[in-house]
Amino acid sequence: MNKIFNFDANKLVEKYGTPLYVYNKETIIDNYQKLKSSFQKYYPKTDVHYAVKANTNLAILKILEEEGASVDCSSPFELLTSEKAGFTSEKIMYTGNYESISDLEAAVKSKATINLDDISSLKRLLSFHLPERISFRINPGIGRGGFEGIVTGGTDAKFGVPYEDASKAYKLAQINGIKRFGIHMMTGSNNLEPYYFAEIVDKLLTIAGKVFEQLGTQPEYVDIGGGFGIPYHDEEIPLNLELTAQLVSEEFREKCKKYNLGSPRLKIEPGRYIAANAGYLLSKVTGTKSSYKKFVGIDSGMNTLLRPALYGASHQHFILGKDTATEPVNLCGRICENSDIFAKHIYLPEAELGDIVITKDAGAYGYAMASNYNGRLRPAEVLIDQGRDKLIRKRETLKNLFNLYPEDL
C-alpha cells in the first residue's frame, strides 16, 4: 500500500511528520450525501445532524456546513466550533449528559435546540431560563453497539430518561410553560443491522404515543440518534443504508399514524458513518522487539487513537510500500500501559525502524479522543481536497503543554 485517497503517503509524512491524521474531503461529502439522500428518499422531512464529537475539526465542520448539514453538539466547545464553522442556531442541537448549569447556559446562549438528558436537567435549565422548545433523550429500555462501552440504551446506560418516566418528564416541562417539543434517543454506536434501527424506532414511537397523548400535542421532531456503523474489517458486512432508511421510514410513518403523532421531522445524528472511513492515521515505527511475542512499536498509541485500548476495537493496519505479510506481531504504542496495543497477532510485512504504518478508518473518534498521557503531544491533521493537502490542525508542541502552568509556579 503506497497511496491513501490517491495521495502519496510518503510525501505527507515528509511534509508533516508523524503521527498524522489525514482526512479526505470527498469521502466526507459522499458519506453525508449518501445518508441524506437515502433517508430523504423514503422520508423527505429528514434532517441529518452530524455528531460533532466524532471529529471536531473546524475544517470538517465547514465542509458539512457547506453541504447543508445540521449538527449535534455535546459540549460548549462543540457549540462554539459549530458556530465558528457557520452553523446557524436552528441547525444546532445540544445533547448533554449530566449537563451542568454552565453547559446549559452555553446552549441557551447559542440558541441551540436543547435535548435534555433527565428530569433533573430540566430543573437546572428552568432555574435560569424558560425555553420555548425542548426534547428529552429517552432511554427506551434497549441498546446495542459494537462494544459494551458504546451501548448507550438499556438498564446499564447512564444516559437519558428511563422510558417509564417519559410522560412525567414532559408533563413537568409543559406545566412549567414549555409549549413545543421533540423526542430523542441514542441507544448505541457502530450498529450494522438495519432491522435494529426499525426496532428502536418502534420502541421510541410507542413511548411517544403515550407521552404526546397526555400532553395533548404532537412532536415537532423525532430524533433517533446516530449509531450507523461501518465495517472495520473485510469480513464485516457493511450496513445496508438503503434498507435501513426504508425500514426506519416505514416504521416511522406507520407508528406516527397509529399514535396520532402527525408528521414530525425525522432527525438522525450520524458521527462515525460520516467521518470514520474518511480518515487514516500515519505512524512511524520507533522500535521492534522479539520478546515472548514479536512487537512492533510506533509513535502513535492510545494517546493518539484510544479506541483499541478503550473498547478492544481493532482497525486494519498496513506498512507503507510493503505488501507481503510475514509473521504475526503485536502492534503497540509507547505509552506505559499494557493496554496500549493497537492490534494483537496481526500479520504484517517485516517492519523496520522508520517504516510508516497506515491505520485505516481512523477519522471518527480518533483525534477527538487523543490525549497528552505520558506527556505525549497530539498529532497534526491534514485534509486532502482535490489532490491537494492542507494542514487543518497543527501538531501540538511542548510549549502548548507548558503554557497551562501559571507563571508563578
Ligand X SMILES: Cc1ncc(COP(=O)(O)O)c(C=O)c1O
Query: Which of 140, 264, 270, 379 touches ligand X by CB under 6 A?
Result: 270
Binding mask of the shown chain, residues 185 to 214, with x at each position contacting ligand X by CB under 6 A: -x--xx------------------------
Around Cβ 347, how many Cβ atoms within 10 Å?
10
User: Cβ 53 to ligand X, closest distance in Å?
Assistant: 6
User: What residue has cell string 510475514?
Assistant: 326
User: Cβ 259 to ligand X, closest distance in Å?
Assistant: 23
User: Cβ 224 to ligand X, closest distance in Å?
Assistant: 10
User: What residue has cell string 520478546?
Assistant: 291
Angle at 65 between CA 64 and CA 66, to 5 degrees: 90
Residue 269 binds to ligand X (criterion: CB under 6 A): yes
| Residues 42-71, interacting with ligand X (CB under 6 A) | 51, 53-54
Q: Which residues, listed in sequence order, are joined to residue 181 by a DSSP beta bridge? A: 134
The C-alpha R_g of the chain, in whole angstroms, comes to 22
| Residues 69-128, interacting with ligand X (CB under 6 A) | 72, 95
Report the Cα 58 to chain-centroid distance in Å: 15
The nearer residue to ligand X, 143 or 271, going by C-beta atoms, is 271
User: What residue has cell string 462515525?
Assistant: 272
* C-alpha span between 377 and 396 (Å, rounded): 5
Q: Which of 359, 344, 355 is nearest to 294 (CA)?
A: 344
332 is catalytic: no
The nearer residue to ligand X, 53 or 317, going by C-beta atoms, is 53
**Contact region with ligand X (CB under 6 A), list: 38-46, 201-209, 210-218, 263-271:** 263-271
User: Cβ 287 to ligand X, closest distance in Å?
Assistant: 34
Contact 379, 367 (CB under 8 A): yes
The nearer residue to ligand X, 7 or 197, going by C-beta atoms, is 197
Contact 187, 241 (CB under 8 A): no
The nearer residue to ligand X, 186 or 306, going by C-beta atoms, is 186
* C-alpha span between 48 and 43 (Å, rounded): 12
Query: Which of 182, 227, 363, 379 touches ligand X by CB under 6 A?
Result: 227
43 phi, psi to nearest 5 deg: -145, 90
Site size for ligand X, by CB under 6 A? 17
Q: Catalytic site residues?
A: 336
Question: Applying CB under 6 A, which residues contact ligand X?
Answer: 51, 53-54, 72, 95, 186, 189-190, 225-228, 269-273
